[in-house]
Amino acid sequence: MKIGLAVAPENALPSAFVVFRDKLEISLAKAARLGYDGVELALLDPQQVDRRRIRAALAEHGLGLPVISTGQVFSEGKVWFTHPEERIRRAAVERIKGLIDLAAEFGAMVNIGRVRGYIHEGETHEVAEGRFLAGLAECADHAAAAGVTMILEPVNRYEINYINSVPQAVAALGKLGRPNVKVMPDTFHMNIEDVSITGSLAAASALVGYVHLADSNRWAPGQGHLDFPAIIAALRSIGYDGYVTAEILPYPDPDTAAQQAIAYLRQVIQ
């Protein structure tokens, strides 16, 4: 497995759950010095990055770019797939398509977290899911044409009220029917929502496309009470050999958090 770190440009809002929020050349240099294999890039819009400069920085530091994450499209862009207004749904789809086009240039995946939206007051699960699946299907077809995989991230009930657990994500993808859309388990959310972290990973099996690692308190792995040796063993047992990326809070400070995460995970992932 490879180990990644979630980062964002210096103008990203605090709602971007990343360790380094800085000029990307600086963040990439730090990640490489610490020993990370790659970085996940949290973006609101493709225009936030200079493609040439990012490509050069990745090459200079020998880093991969496995995923472009989209949480800011929801939190800052204020658009999502389940919105009652068609123009808002349309804006969400077009924004995600733009990020898919960017991801295609780097061989990256695109995550769908809170941008899927939520079940609005007075509406049913079925109505929300119909809107979500329609938007995701359009994006997935766009992604398939570009050779891009998408990954659906379950998010806990305190942040959103739709698709909270890995089994719920698996069920939604069964209705979607797009082979280029996988599940993206996140151990922080799983600790809240899933009956068993290792059990959910085993049940999702081949659908697992990418993994976020954070401890029970969303600090670096090893700073809470989750059993990461068992989690890594469960991933190995299903044949997962992709990135496990630290999406953690920058506590007690960004540099310490990033160092703690890589030091602990290198011990667990031999």
- The predicted-structure confidence for 198-216, as pLDDT tens digits, reads as follows 999 999 999 999 999 999 9
pLDDT attached to residue 12: 79
Q: For the domain bounded by 2-268, which CATH number is listed? A: 3.20.20.150
Q: Please check whether residue 210 is in contact with residue 66, taking contact to mean a CB–CB distance below 8 angstroms.
A: yes
Q: What percent of the chain has pLDDT over 90?
A: 93
- Distance from C-alpha of 57 to C-alpha of 34, rounded to nearest angstrom: 15
Long-range own/partner contacts, residues 89-94 (CB < 8 A, 24 or more apart): 89/131, 89/135, 92/117, 92/135, 93/135, 93/138, 93/139
The residues carrying an active-site annotation are 153, 247
If we measure between CA atoms, which residue out of 78, 82, 94 comes closest to residue 139?
94
Dihedral Cα 86, 118, 181, 3, nearest 10 deg: 130
Mean per-residue pLDDT, 168-173? 98
- Distance from C-alpha of 109 to C-alpha of 129, rounded to nearest angstrom: 23
The domain segmentation of the chain, as residue ranges, is: 2-268
Mean per-residue pLDDT, 25-47? 96
- Tell whether the model's pLDDT for residue 15 goes beyond 80: no
Spell 84-118 as b/e; 16+ CB within 10 A means b: eeeebbebbbebbbbbbebbbebebbbbbbbbbbb
